[in-house]
A and B are shown apart, each in its own frame.
Chain A
Amino acid sequence: MIPLSDHDMLAQRNHDEESRQSFVNDFRIHLASNVFPGNFPTYYNRVLPNFIKEKGREPETRHEVRKVMTHDPYYSFWSAMQRNSQEMIWDSVIDSVERQLPELIEKSRKAGDKGSLTLDPDLETPKYHVAADIHLQPGAYHSDQIEDDVAAGAMYDWGTYIYSMGGLGTGNNALGQITNGFFKNEYPDKKPLRILDMGCTIGGSITYWAQQHPDTECYAIDVGAPVLRYGHARAEALGAAVHFSQQNAEHTDFEDESFDIVMSHILLHETSRTAIQNVFDESYRLLKPGGIMMHMDLPQAHGQQPLEGFLFEWEIYNNNEHFFAQLRDMDMAELCRKAGFKDENIHPKSAGSFWMDDQTPYADDGFEFPITIGIK
């Protein structure tokens, strides 16, 4: 495993911790490239013929496929291993974070002041975050175990890098590279003065934007305090000015029409049916006339074959990504319309690794995300 580029807040791994993380990384690569593809012959040679024998037709939806595939011994063994590999990610990063926590907290307290950090201890953690730990990170984004905790952020930095098998790039900022590349290509003449990233976690994306646009005022919000403390210290360590604050993206305290861009990177699928509309409404309120909303998230169900659609939804049922089940079928344009965007200003687009500006080896993987654009 190629390590993340070092920065002052990154938890340092000892010999065995590095090796354990490399194992999980390589194990997941093996599952993805050698075991997962076996689900296709399993389906076509075993599950599908049985289904046809019984029903006289092929499955029509991904839900029908789920009913029969879930019990197939090959699929369930892959699925169980994939679930274990996800648990192993966190297990492999906790030790080094736990060991260095006092130093990391101390460093975050002394973080620079190019940007800023504003916390709100009274902010309620949304219900859709407290019932289950999303993608199995113990304690999730929001739990403080100790005063001024940064553990959730420190774990997220290494954990998501291993999750992506390096796909997020050694700067852990591929998503920001993608939206930035997309923006530069789509709107080459726009010079945003003030931008907001919603659901920023450790600010991987917005910090990259701040580095690319040093004259732009960059704001980032999240509901989780430990990830924000870490994110702020990380941005300062990287020499970037980002203003972090603990706020719910459904209702923020920013003024009307105060941003040129309001964006998010894979935030939406971790919200709820009510919250997602609120996020779009709030985006509209915050945009200046002519301002651009860009919400990038995971692929939806339309256009996918039943088997493909079913396999795509593994994370919903096995990785605590519960709201993604509903987002898969939601009408994004309708959310925009209800928020106030005019039909002619709503653009469903696609953004992918082809927009990454440093052509890292990861860019070849060609991952693509839908991005919902609304211009006020």
Chain B
Amino acid sequence: MSKDDQKKIKLPRTAKGKKPQYFNDPTVDKLLSMVLTLMGELSVTRDRLDTVERLVEKNGLFKIDDIEHYEIPDDVNQIRSERRSAYIARVLKSVQDELDALEQKGDGKNTELAD
């Protein structure tokens, strides 16, 4: 195997084994995976932007390579982590809503108003 071939190695990306189906319509399983991936990628983009903003402020001007070598200070790490948690909670609001509704009393219909 030449050095070039070795550089192009592709690792497997799908685990062996039967994947459970979680929803009645398997399309929903796929959609959920897509949404979660999107959620992650948006978070990655936001982190990258955050790095850009901080570097702009710090240097006035920067080289693209600076981004790759940006070292996350502890306090920035903390800020990012908190913002990520808030972001996750926002995207998953529909899940929280279901839980909140379960804990609410009544049948969820405004009969008083309708009457």
Contact = CB atoms under 8 A, between A and B. Distances in A.
Contact of B12 (A26, A77, A139): A139
Given A14-B68, A84-B33, A26 B13 contact: no
B37 to A, nearest CB: 7
Contacts of A22: 47, 80-81, 84
Contacts, number: 146
Nearest to B6: A102
B77 interface: yes
Interface stretch (A91-99, A239-247, A271-279, A282-290): A91-99
Most buried by A among B16, B36, B84, B103: B16
Contacts of B14: 138
Contacts of B92: 30, 34-35, 81
Interface string B1-27: 101001101111111111110110000
Given A26-B88, A30-B89, A76-B23, A19 B44 contact: yes
Contact of A15 (B23, B67, B81): B67
Given A1-B81, A26-B85, A41-B99, A15 B11 contact: no
Nearest to B17: A132
Contacts of A147: 1
B62 interface: no
Interface in A278-331: 317-318, 320
Contact of A318 (B20, B77, B81, B84): B20
Q: Is the interface of B mostly helix, strand, loop or mixed?
A: helix
Most buried by B among A38, A85, A132, A147: A38
A132 B68 contact: no
Contacts of A365: none
Contacts of A46: 102
A1 to B, nearest CB: 7
Given A81-B32, A84-B33, A139-B12, A131 B17 contact: yes
Nearest to A91: B13
A34 B13 contact: no
Interface string A59-91: 000000000000001101111110111011011
A81 B16 CA distance: 19
Contact of A19 (B9, B48, B98, B102): B48
B29 interface: yes
A27 interface: yes
Contact of A132 (B13, B18, B51, B99): B18
B11 A320 contact: no
Given A145-B12, A320-B17, A74 B99 contact: yes
Contacts of A90: 13, 15
7 contacts: A15-B70, A19-B47, A41-B102, A45-B103, A90-B13, A146-B6, A318-B20
Given A45-B102, A83-B22, 11 more contacts: A77-B98, A78-B95, A80-B22, A84-B32, A84-B36, A101-B9, A102-B9, A131-B17, A133-B16, A138-B13, A143-B12
Q: Nearest 4 A-B pairs (CB), nearest first?
A: A132-B17, A80-B22, A19-B47, A133-B15
